Structure 1
Amino acid sequence: MARIAAEAAGGQNVVAFLDMTAVSEIDAWTREHSDDGYNILVGSHGPSETHTRPNAQQVVSPKLLTFASYAAHPNIRNQELNSTAAGRYQLLSRYYEPYKRMLGLSDFSPVSQDLIAIQQIRERHALPLIKSGQIVAAIKACSSIWASFPGNDYGQHQNDLALLVAAYKSSGGAVSIA
């Protein structure tokens, strides 16, 4: 569950959107075996998760990659995936410092990660959509941020809108237009 209070986030729908994003970006096993995803590195995954590789599919054993300190973004590159994504919302290290300065953050703590994700949502003009319950439009608006959202061309696994809407509702989000 997002650590930011609903009032500070802009309402329960925003918190539900953050929780839905975590469900989309990080599988349940990894969230359960970490600090709800806040301390994970890209490449973490639970057991029996199927990864598609060129011309092959394989079932892999669980892999939990975490970082120990919330003092700053860990900036650890996963060589296999060529990515520095970390935390609950899989923020790339190159974006951390600009957001840290912009938002006046002192660390990469769970609340700081929530605030960065909310700023990214704000930049896609999706906060009004979320607050009014227009969840599908908000997901589409944010698909350029999170590769797991449908509607982008990152070439990674994209989750189905129905799964995302269900996760949003189960986190207490209200839908006015699905």
Structure 2
Amino acid sequence: MELTQAQQNNRKAFGDTLAFSEGTSTSPATRNKGYDVIVTGTDGKPEIFTDYSDHPFANRPGKVFSKNGQRSTAAGRYQQLYRFWPAYKQQLKLTDFSPKSQELLLDQLLKEQGAYLDVLNGNINAVFAKCCDIWASLPGSPYGQHTHEPQTLLDVFVKSGGVIA
């Protein structure tokens, strides 16, 4: 599917919005726009990884971060959980956990949630509703973690070059 420039802008803007929402692009530790961020543990210290050859928890067997009683292996710009990574790595034929692979995975998750076209067309509130069960920071998330107000995220989307339908 060939994307128009407006659709490309909306896709990029949504990625920026999700990275803001998940706190990866704004992490004081990131050196790569959030692509290198590991979920913050109970110590509250931001952590990053530098080896993109695989999901960082693939190389840390048994290591799990815990925050507010929640256990997590989330990593990368969009906080991909390790337990799902091997299947997506195989399905999408990804060779690493590089920024490009993380972007391809985001597209796949959006498609599976029926939200990819909503992103491209700027129907961002619909994306929140369809994807809040994946990303705990999105409005409507059922996980009891901090969520952002829809308007805050819509503002980030527009500031990042997206156009709301």
The normalised TM-score by structure 2 is 0.84
**Is 2:49 aligned against 1:67?**
yes
User: Residue 34 of structure 1: which of 26, 31, 36 is its match?
Assistant: 31
**1:23 counterpart letter in structure 2:** F
Look up the match of 2:60.
none
Find the counterpart in structure 2 of residue 78 from structure 1: 65
Q: Which consecutive unaligned segments of at least 5 residues does structure 2 have?
A: 58-62
Pick the aligned partner of 2:141 from 133, 149, 152. Answer: 152
Among 57, 77, 88, the alignment partner of 1:88 is: 77
Give matches, 1:16-165, under 5 Å. Answer: 16-26=13-23, 29-30=26-27, 33-43=30-40, 63-75=45-57, 76-80=63-67, 81-165=70-154
> What amino acid does structure 2 have at the position aligned with 1:63?
K
Give the CA RMSD over aligned residues. Answer: 2.2
Structure 1: runs of 5 or more not aligned: 1-5, 45-50, 52-59
Mapped partners of 1:94, 1:24: distance in 2:
22
Q: How far apart are the structure 1 equivalents of 2:24 and 2:48?
A: 14
Q: Secondary structure at the match of 1:63?
A: coil
Preserved CA contact (<8 Å) 1:31 1:37: no
Residues of 2 paired with 1:70 and 1:125: CA distance?
Answer: 28
Distance verdict in 2 for CA 1:134–1:71, change over 3 Å = same
Aligned to 1:56: none
Aligned 8 A contact 1:40 1:65 in 2: yes
1:141, 1:126 → 2: CA distance? 6
SS at 2:108 equivalent: helix
- Structure 1 stretches of 4+ with a deviation exceeding 3 A read none
Identical columns (%): 37
Say which SS state the counterpart of residue 30 (structure 1) adopts.
coil
Distance 1:170 1:11 in 2: 15
CA distance in 1, matches of 2:150, 2:160: 15
Contact 2:26 2:34 in 1 (8 A): no
Q: Secondary structure at the match of 1:154?
A: coil
Q: Which string of whole-angstrom CA distances, capped at 9 and with x for unpartnered residues, describes residues 1-42 of structure 1?
A: xxxxx87xx622111111100000016541674311111110
Tell me which residue corresponds to 1:3: none
